[in-house]
Amino acid sequence: MNHTPVVFIHGTWLHALSWESWAERFAGRGFHAFTPGWPGEAAAVGELRKSPGTIAGIGLDVLTDHYAGIVRSFDTAPVIVGHSVGGLIAQHLLAANIGRAAVAIAPAPINDIALPDAPARLWTPDLTDAEPLVTLSPGQFHHVFANTATAEESDRLFERYVVPAPRRLLDDLGHASAARERYAVVDVGNADRGPLLLISGQEDLLVPDSVTRAAYKQYGDSTAVTDLKQFADRAHSLVIDNGWRFVADYVLGWLEEYGLRTHPG
């Protein structure tokens, strides 16, 4: 019996280390967990903060192609689990029949779905600012990203996981009055793709629950499996804050339901 690989894709303002607890949890349940970073992403959070220029020019095209290559490199098609922008990429890849199944957690919006302006305008940074990176302060992170966590927990999460985000990537997502990048378009009608699970946090200020529900509705005409799970009292930080295990265990149960743990060798 071979173990199913799982590729985790992190989102904006987080480092690949943000999946550390998930990777351990999934490995303990018989999966082979992989947490590859973005192209040019330093292995350590502190290193990336000191030299963030390595990710400054990354757009959604580069990021999506990067993970498409990783997913295709496995002999066994992996499950893809993505958060935020990673959730958008997971949907795009699955719809292109790349990957065995996908879980999109608080995913950046697909197709023509609009994203309301978040507090502090994180998705719509000042267009007059020529800086190639958009950096969060600890206060912004707590106010918008980890708004259901205590200040103490938010500061701890910030210190361990938070890094700058490329302005070009935000522009590509169409949240800065730019045209929607083609990699943000998902073939929601593909009936031949693997199962998809969409997850939202009902207190998410960055990607509101309404945005994830709108995505779920777009899949309504497809006969492929599409499920939605809404977590009450959870923010955009639901993959890293103290309630992460509830989300991870729900995903594990969903994968088990569809027989996506192991397969015959």
pLDDT tens digits along 72-130: 999 999 999 999 999 999 999 999 999 999 999 999 999 888 776 655 456 555 555 66
The pLDDT value given to residue 2:
67
Contact 170, 200 (CB under 8 A): no
d(CA 204, CA 238): 9
Residue 263 has pLDDT above 50, yes or no: no
In eight-state DSSP terms, residue 7 is E
The pLDDT value given to residue 1:
52
The pLDDT value given to residue 124:
57
d(CA 17, CA 157): 11
- Which among 27, 62, 78 has a CA at the least distance from the CA of 183? 62
Of the CATH numbers 2.60.40.10, 3.30.70.380, 3.20.20.70, 3.40.50.1820, which one belongs to the domain with range 2-263? 3.40.50.1820
The pLDDT value given to residue 183:
87
- Which among 12, 212, 210 has a CA at the least distance from the CA of 125? 12
Confidence of residue 265 (pLDDT cuts 50, 70, 90): very low
- Which among 264, 205, 255, 259 has a CA at the least distance from the CA of 26? 255
pTM of the model: 0.94
Is the model more confident about 265 or about 33?
Answer: 33
- Across the strands, what pairs with 14? 162
Count Cβ atoms below 10 Å from residue 16 Cβ, excluding itself. 23
d(CA 87, CA 92): 9
The pLDDT value given to residue 131:
80
Is the model more confident about 261 or about 220?
Answer: 220
Q: What's the mean pLDDT in 245-251?
A: 98
The pLDDT value given to residue 112:
85
Q: Report the alpha-carbon angle 47-48-52, nearest 5.
A: 130
Give the tens place of pLDDT for each residue, 126-177. Answer: 555 668 898 999 999 999 999 999 999 999 999 999 999 998 898 888 654 4
Is the model more confident about 263 or about 68?
Answer: 68
The pLDDT value given to residue 176:
47
Give the tens place of pLDDT for each residue, 42-66. Answer: 999 999 999 998 999 899 999 999 9
Residue 204 has pLDDT above 60, yes or no: yes
